[in-house]
């Protein structure tokens, strides 16, 4: 266990060094969050009260999405892993007395968490100071707040577990670019990163909520906003745990299968 903690610390400290990039990211996320809010505000002003979320709920959703973007950005991948597989440098990793899956997993956790910590608080503080209804507010009750903290950690693990499948797929392809582009588009769309899932047609929502992507950022943010409460919170978190177990098990099995057949050429 200590060796994986060491990998986590090294990658976490490395990620904390990019403060200038973090400030640039904060500015970008404020601009993007503001544009999203203004776009939805225009629809709300011209609508007929037929929207599934109230505007304060939507405002909370968007600002939480921007504050924790570094944790859930689907387009981020560790290029060192892909480069190691494609170049053959993976051979050095295979010589180490470690579990390759666990090492990649904790490294991905560390880099995402380090980037989130650098960006999160400034966005939350400024968003909370904005005028109503564009501001960020606290959860409606303590239970929702605690459930959000548990759910966001579960969603974070689900995202990384799914990302691990994409890394492992590089063992079976000549180039990982195609699967990266496809997976990013699918995750962003079905996880509610483009449009919150409550805005989709009701006939499609049961299917979308059942997919693993909804268990990433969608579930914790809907819990925070108060859109889902009571038994629905527990059901959604149980689904997160279920998908986490499925993805972790699948990743471990696929990694084991890939390493049995991996061939490293060159010298």
**Tens-place pLDDT, residues 207-252:** 999 999 999 999 999 999 999 988 999 999 999 999 999 999 999 9
Q: Residue 83 above 60 pLDDT?
A: yes
266 in a structural domain: no
Q: State the pLDDT at residue 48.
A: 62
Distances 84 to 34, 66, 221, 250 between C-alpha atoms, Å: 39, 31, 35, 22
User: Do the domain assignments include residue 212?
Assistant: yes
Residue 99 forms part of a structural domain: yes
Tell me how far apart the alpha carbons of residues 259 and 212 are, in angstroms, rounded to a whole number.
Answer: 26
pLDDT, mean over the chain: 88
pLDDT, one tens digit per residue, over 37-67 is 999 998 888 866 688 899 999 999 999 999 9
Q: How many domains does the chain have?
A: 1
Residue 238 near residue 151, CB atoms below 8 Å: no
Q: Give the tens place of pLDDT for each residue, 188-212.
A: 999 998 899 999 999 999 999 999 9
What residues contact 150, with CB distance under 8 A and at least 6 apart?
Answer: 237
Whether residue 76 lies inside any domain: the answer is yes
- What's the domain range around 120? 2-261
**How many Cβ atoms are within 10 Å of 99's Cβ, its own excluded?**
13
| pLDDT of amino acid 267 | 46
Instruction: Please indicate, yes or no, if residue 235 is contained in any of the structural domains.
Output: yes
pTM of the full structure: 0.92
Let me know if residue 23 belongs to a domain.
yes
Buried b / exposed e over 4-39, threshold 16 CB at 10 Å, is beebbeebbeebbeeeeebeebbeebbeebbebbee
User: Which of 75-79, 244-248, 258-262 reaches the highest mean pLDDT?
Assistant: 244-248
CB count in 10 Å sphere of residue 189: 16
In a domain, 168, yes or no: yes
- Is there a domain that residue 267 lies in? no
């Amino acid at each position: 266990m200590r060796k994986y903690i060491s990998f986590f610390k090294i990658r976490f400290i490395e990620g904390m060094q990019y403060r200038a990039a973090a400030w640039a990211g904060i500015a970008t996320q404020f601009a993007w969050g503001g544009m999203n809010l203004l776009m939805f505000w225009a629809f709300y002003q011209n609508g007929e009260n037929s929207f599934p979320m109230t505007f304060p709920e939507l405002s909370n959703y968007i600002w939480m999405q921007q504050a924790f973007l570094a944790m859930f950005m689907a387009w981020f991948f560790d290029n060192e892993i892909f480069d190691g597989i494609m170049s053959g440098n993976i051979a050095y990793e295979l010589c180490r007395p470690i579990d390759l899956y666990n090492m990649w997993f904790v490294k991905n956790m560390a880099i995402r968490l380090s980037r989130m910590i650098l960006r999160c608080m400034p966005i939350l503080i400024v968003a909370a100071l904005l005028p109503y209804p564009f501001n960020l507010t606290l959860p409606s009750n303590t239970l929702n707040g605690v459930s959000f903290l548990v759910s966001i950690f579960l969603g974070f693990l689900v995202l990384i577990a799914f990302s691990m499948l994409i890394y492992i797929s590089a063992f079976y392809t000549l180039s990982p670019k195609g699967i990266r582009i496809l997976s990013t588009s699918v995750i962003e769309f079905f996880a509610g990163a483009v449009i919150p899932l409550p805005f989709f047609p009701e006939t499609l929502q049961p299917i979308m909520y059942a997919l693993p992507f909804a268990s990433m950022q969608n579930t914790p943010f809907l819990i925070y906003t108060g859109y889902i409460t009571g038994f629905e919170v527990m059901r959604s978190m149980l689904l997160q745990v279920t998908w986490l177990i499925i993805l972790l098990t699948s990743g471990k099995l696929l990694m084991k299968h890939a390493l049995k057949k991996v061939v490293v050429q060159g010298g």
